[in-house]
């Protein structure tokens, strides 16, 4: 072995130190989170009516995983999973509201404290020098508590704080706070949480958009929902255009997803009837996931692999030179081999208004898992009497029995195979219990 002369060794060490100091530029990270949006309701997902040209373009240019899922189909716990990279039984956020007076500040504050026990993506990026901005949906009180450096949401219950307050103006009334944040953070890497109250109710789209979908034979409530989606899409286009105008698009990662699904029933229908939001069926838990980064992610569409929003942390943090935490269960979605090796994903459905804000097992109604194309849905018998929607005793889709579906043959989950395939049910249940068994928390 040749010995390196001392002078050269010192020169090399100085050089390496210099290299370490000039670490690669950290990419900006933008989360675009649609609210109450059905997984098929996009142009790129094949919808015949809904126009989403801007989201379609992201999907075409990015890595698009059409079999994406949220672990739970309700806003607050789903957003908490996106922000922490953890399952609801890990971060313990399972419901939208606390039991008792949901408008009582102290009552809500106790819930927010539970959320603060988990590390957030905003906080982890912040520790590495990122600035961050929250806009849109945010349930966890004053948004700086979630690790953001700037925000729209005040969280003050006495001024209407619950799920976003001032933040809910984004997209619907203005994009300016987001644009101002981007402009002012120039030079520093940033994290942007863009979770507009779109296409969420109230379905009150501008007439110029509604006019495109108003037609004989299409129920007006459905026309309005479609127009709300196009409204969301317009804002996605505006956000991207702003990044491009500022010359930042090449240094930015965009992750797109919906927080839960939606089925718009003719005549308005009630949520409890729709078998979507707050249900364990695909209409509630499935969403396409798009990862877009022109310099780092090659365009591809994957219609086979199972992906979860808990994978966002474990995919994006390494792109920002941050090691994911050990308790994060996700995978790196950019690695095609890792994606192909995953055979199962999991989730759970909880009551809308938490029985016990600290014990997920006290609130769970269903667990579900998918292996390949087989989907198992298992009710939690111990909580059978709990109402999933407060004050809604009758939820027609809630059968209270174990169900098994073949999603490849029956994507609408209409034919329950549990009775015909007891062996499959048994083997899937064993896997599900290894993931999380609320009977043995």
Residues that bind Ca ion (CB under 5 A): 35-36, 75, 259-260
Q: Looking at beta carbons only, is 64 or 73 nearer to Ca ion?
A: 73
For the bound state, the minimum distance from the C-beta of residue 33 to Ca ion, rounded and expressed in Å, comes to 9
Determine the Cα–Cα distance for residues 111 and 108; give it in Å rounded to an integer.
Answer: 5
For the bound state, the minimum distance from the C-beta of residue 280 to Ca ion, rounded and expressed in Å, comes to 16
Q: Specify which residues 302 forms β-bridges with.
A: 65
CA angle (224 as vertex; 79, 392 as ends), nearest 5:
55
Determine the Cα–Cα distance for residues 131 and 149; give it in Å rounded to an integer.
Answer: 6
Q: Looking at beta carbons only, is 35 or 311 nearer to Ca ion?
A: 35
For the bound state, the minimum distance from the C-beta of residue 187 to Ca ion, rounded and expressed in Å, comes to 34
For the bound state, the minimum distance from the C-beta of residue 340 to Ca ion, rounded and expressed in Å, comes to 30
Strand-strand pairing, 190-195 and 28-34: parallel
For the bound state, the minimum distance from the C-beta of residue 193 to Ca ion, rounded and expressed in Å, comes to 14
For the bound state, the minimum distance from the C-beta of residue 409 to Ca ion, rounded and expressed in Å, comes to 29
Question: Quick one: which of 319, 347, 348 has its CA closest to 332?
Answer: 319
Instruction: Find the residue with minimal CB distance to Ca ion.
Output: 75
Q: Looking at beta carbons only, is 139 or 366 nearer to Ca ion?
A: 139
Q: Looking at beta carbons only, is 221 or 332 nearer to Ca ion?
A: 221
Q: Looking at beta carbons only, is 69 or 130 nearer to Ca ion?
A: 69
Q: Looking at beta carbons only, is 36 or 282 nearer to Ca ion?
A: 36
- Centre a 10 Å sphere on the Cβ of residue 147 and count the other Cβ atoms it contains: 22
Q: Looking at beta carbons only, is 130 or 225 nearer to Ca ion?
A: 225
Q: How far is CA 217 from CA 40, 221, 266, 274, in A?
A: 20, 12, 11, 20
Determine the Cα–Cα distance for residues 380 and 89; give it in Å rounded to an integer.
Answer: 14
Q: What is the DSSP letter of 276?
A: -
DSSP letter string over 80-149?
A: HHHHHS--HHHH----SEESS-TT-HHHHHHHHHHHTTS--HHHHHHTTT-EEEEEE---SSSGGGGT-S
Determine the Cα–Cα distance for residues 166 and 180; give it in Å rounded to an integer.
Answer: 16
For the bound state, the minimum distance from the C-beta of residue 287 to Ca ion, rounded and expressed in Å, comes to 10
Q: Looking at beta carbons only, is 89 or 277 nearer to Ca ion?
A: 277
Determine the Cα–Cα distance for residues 38 and 202; give it in Å rounded to an integer.
Answer: 16
Determine the Cα–Cα distance for residues 48 and 128; give it in Å rounded to an integer.
Answer: 44
Q: What is the DSSP letter of 259?
A: S
For the bound state, the minimum distance from the C-beta of residue 35 to Ca ion, rounded and expressed in Å, comes to 4
């Amino acid at each position: 072995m040749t010995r390196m002369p001392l002078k050269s060794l010192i020169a090399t060490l100085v050089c390496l130190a210099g290299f370490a100091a000039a670490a690669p530029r950290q990419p900006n990270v933008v989360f675009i989170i649609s609210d109450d949006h059905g997984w098929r309701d996009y142009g790129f997902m094949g919808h015949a009516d809904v126009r989403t040209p801007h989201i379609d373009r992201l999907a075409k240019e990015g890595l698009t995983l059409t079999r994406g899922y949220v672990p739970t189909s309700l806003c607050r716990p789903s957003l908490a999973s996106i922000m922490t990279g953890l399952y609801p039984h890990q971060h313990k956020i399972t419901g939208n509201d606390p039991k008792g007076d949901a408008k009582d500040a102290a009552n809500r504050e106790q819930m927010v404290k539970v959320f603060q026990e988990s590390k957030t993506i905003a906080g982890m990026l912040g520790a590495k020098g990122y600035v961050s901005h929250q806009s849109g949906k945010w349930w966890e009180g004053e948004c700086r508590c979630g690790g953001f450096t700037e925000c729209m949401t005040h969280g003050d219950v006495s001024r209407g704080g619950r799920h976003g307050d001032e933040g809910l103006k984004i997209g619907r009334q203005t994009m300016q706070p987001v644009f101002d944040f981007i402009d002012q953070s120039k030079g520093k890497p940033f994290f942007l949480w863009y979770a507009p109250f779109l296409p969420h109710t109230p379905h009150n789209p501008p007439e110029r958009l509604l006019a495109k979908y108003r037609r004989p034979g299409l129920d007006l409530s459905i026309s309005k929902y479609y127009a709300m989606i196009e409204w969301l899409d317009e804002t996605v286009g505006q956000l991207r255009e702003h990044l491009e105008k500022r010359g930042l698009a090449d240094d930015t990662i965009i992750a797109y997803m919906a927080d839960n699904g939606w089925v718009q029933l003719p005549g308005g229908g009630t949520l409890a009837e729709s078998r979507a939001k707050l249900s364990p069926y695909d209409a509630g838990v499935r969403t396409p996931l798009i990862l877009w980064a022109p310099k780092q992610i090659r365009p591809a569409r994957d219609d086979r692999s199972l992906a979860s929003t808990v994978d966002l942390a474990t995919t994006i943090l390494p792109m920002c030179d941050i090691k994911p935490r050990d308790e994060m269960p996700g995978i790196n979605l950019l690695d095609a081999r890792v994606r192909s090796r995953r055979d199962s994903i999991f989730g759970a459905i909880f009551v809308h208004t938490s029985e016990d804000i600290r014990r997920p097992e006290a609130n769970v109604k269903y667990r579900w898992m998918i292996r390949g194309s087989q989907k198992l849905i298992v009710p939690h018998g111990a909580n059978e009497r709990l109402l999933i929607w407060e004050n809604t005793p009758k939820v027609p889709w809630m059968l209270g029995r174990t169900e098994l579906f073949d999603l490849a043959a029956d994507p609408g989950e209409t034919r329950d195979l549990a009775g015909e395939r007891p062996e499959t049910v048994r083997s899937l249940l064993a896997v599900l219990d290894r993931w999380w068994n609320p009977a043995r928390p």
